[in-house]
Amino acid sequence: MTPPLRIAVAGLGTVGAAVVDILVSKSELLSERFGRDVTLTAVSARDKSRDRGVELSSVAWFDDAAEMARMANADVIVELIGGEDGIAKAVCENALSAGRHVVTANKALLALHGTDLANAAEQAGVALGYEASVAGGVPVIKAVREGFGGNQITSIHGILNGTCNYILTTMRLTGRAFHDVLAEAQELGYAEADPTFDIDGIDAAHKLALLASVAFGCEVDFDAVHVEGIRHISAEDIAFAEELGFRIKLLGIANRTSDGVEQRVYPCMVPMDAPLAHVEGVFNAVVVEGDAVGISVLQGRGAGAGPTASAVVSDIADIARGSIVPVFSVPVSQLSKSRTVSIESRRGPYYFRLMVLDRPGVIAEVSAVLKDEQVSVESLLQRGRSEEGSVPVVLTLHETEEANVQRALDRISALDTVVEPPCMIRIEHL
């Protein structure tokens, strides 16, 4: 008879407590589905006295999570502490060096050290599961790595951060300002007290780096991701986008091209008929394009204790059944070192919003700059007038190169008639 699979959990926050609850309260169901018993044998957290709603008296307690990874009576170490280095990294490294399987939800750790950790897991002959690190309860890692294993994937893109999607959705529905909606998201628990990783695009970039590696069989390269956030998006931009037939979404976009791999995170306008345009609130969605399957869309809750814990347990299920697959689709020795395609080479349409003085000749000045930089205007909108005598002017641009657009922006910003930094948003016809 197959012996029980012994689990130790490092980190008992909301996700860790939810994982423990599933392991304990659904033990019979898990045994039926996994073909063997699954037993919680050890846990580690900072505060032993805190009530987590789960009975832990029969479970070994470790004050030091890194020590638990080495010494616990466990086959699998679940790391739910978080952070790109420090104790979380030590837990994973200690577990792998001791020949234990690792399951983690830590996208920051994997985005920066994923290739090294994958190599350590491969050398030890154990699993490194991280389904919970991308898109919460949406099984996107398994889908890309195994479900679409017969495809040459050319593109993967999506809404990878529920906090930003909630903020942009609420701004659109209410017309409220960014900082007002951000404060509400913090009160509701959708955004952290320090929201930097979310609203500046870093969290989405961590996830995109992992998806690109799985999709394209390349080394994880977080530094290759071009990252922009949503701080500069105004309710006015969102309203103009609606008028023009678009929705603004923070997207992670990875493409395999003849020149190399593009990895980009930024807010962009997507057409109303695009699948991602109607993914609202805290939901995530990932679109995968493969040569055999065509386009597939995976959607669901991207965060929260329940969805994330569900993804953690799905990795435990694979280990219980004896399924150990390459971490990033192929063995580490076969991961390619892909050439990074610079954002300056992007070709596509663009949206500009300028605040200019309401006087003759302003549009002519802007047009002259665009002409010099070989940027062609598709449409122009002008609305209202402020008390200071300035007006918003919105331009949409035909497909052009990013480098030209950036030069034009620099020159337009320097015009005396432009009273605040221009807003530029890329348009993506995905």
Catalytic annotation, residues: 207
Residue position matching structure tokens 């991308």: 134
Q: What are phi and psi of 79, to 5 degrees?
A: -100, 115
Q: What is the dihedral of CA 149, 150, 156, 158, to 10 degrees?
A: -60
Contact 314, 142 (CB under 8 A): yes
| Whether the Cβ atoms of residue 375 and residue 400 lie closer than 8 Å to each other | yes
Distance (Å, whole) CA 109 – CA 231? 25
**Cα 370 from chain centroid (whole Å):** 34
CB 213 within 8 A of CB 114: yes
CA atoms within 13 A on the CB side of 147: 13
Give the total residue count for the chain.
430
Q: Beta partners for 351?
A: 396, 425
Helices 305-320 + 14-25 axis angle, to 10: 50
| Rg (the chain; Cα; Å) | 24
Nearest-5° Cα angle at 371, 369 to 376: 115
Q: Are 133 and 294 in contact (CB under 8 A)?
A: no
Rounded to 5 degrees, what are φ and ψ at 183?
-60, -40
CA distances in angstroms from 382 to 34, 176, 254, 359, 391, listed in the order given: 62, 21, 34, 13, 7
User: What's the token pair of residue 102?
Assistant: 């690792």
Which one, of 320, 308, 314, lies nearest residue 80 by Cα?
Answer: 308
The CA distances from residue 183 to 57, 169, 195, in Å, are 39, 14, 10
Phi-psi label, residue 90: left if phi above 0, alpha if psi -120 to 50, beta otherwise: alpha
**Which one, of 267, 255, 158, lies nearest residue 215 by Cα?**
255
Q: What are phi and psi of 352, to 5 degrees?
A: -120, 140
